[in-house]
Amino acid sequence: MRRRLTLSKRLLNPKTGVLVITIDEHEVHHLGMLLEQIFSECNRQMATIVINRKGVAQSRLLRSEEYALFTFMAEAYLPAAPDDLLSPEREGARFTKPRWEWLLRGGGGGGGGTNSRRQDRHLLFFPIFIDPEKKRMAHGAN
């Protein structure tokens, strides 16, 4: 990895270059340390990427994500684009309504359901209340 990263640094635009590497959990820490050594003057950030919402078997646990490590040269940046998953997206975008379905718990309930209803999980049900006028999470419970 070290040789490839050293070569990558030489190939990147020294002002606005951005290096993006995706990697699984086995080498993410080693890669992070190498990036810190080789690109010490750069801004670095890690993001997770969901690759399989149901999870992939990895030894004893299921994993559902990989990691993307971003290395930004001095003048490289991304404009901020916050997404609270509740606010409607702009017209012309793929979604025009809040994506409520992403807030539901997934997974099978034996009968083909999602196990996301209160009666399916009465001891593990924690509802989220939304104020439809303010389009925000509401305080209090019904």
pLDDT at 75: 93
* Residue 78 lies inside a defined structural domain of this protein: no
Q: Which residues on adjacent β-strands are paired with residue 49?
A: 66
* Residue 80 lies inside a defined structural domain of this protein: no
Q: Are 74 and 15 in contact (CB under 8 A)?
A: yes
Residue 62 belongs to domain with CATH number: 3.40.50.150
Same domain, 46 and 105: no
Same domain, 55 and 107: no
Q: Are 66 and 50 in contact (CB under 8 A)?
A: no
Same domain, 105 and 138: yes
- Which one-letter amino acid corresponds to residue 141? A
Pick the last residue of a domain from 50, 72, 94. Answer: 72
Range of the domain at 118: 85-142
The DSSP secondary structure of 17-48, one letter per residue, reads: -EEEEEE-TTTHHHHHHHHHHHTTTSEEEEEE
Closest to 4 in 3D by CA, of 26, 33, 35 = 35
The DSSP 8-state label assigned to residue 17 in this structure reads -
Tell me the backbone φ, ψ of residue 2, rounded to 5 degrees: -60, -45
pLDDT at 109: 46
How far is it, in rounded angstroms, from Cα 48 to Cα 133? 32
Same domain, 64 and 102: no
Total domain count for the chain? 2
Written as tens digits, the pLDDT of the chain (142 aa) is 999 999 999 999 999 999 999 998 889 999 999 999 999 999 999 988 777 667 667 677 777 788 899 999 999 977 766 555 555 555 555 555 555 555 555 554 444 455 666 677 667 666 677 777 877 776 654 4
Pick the last residue of a domain from 72, 95, 117. Answer: 72
Same domain, 53 and 9: yes
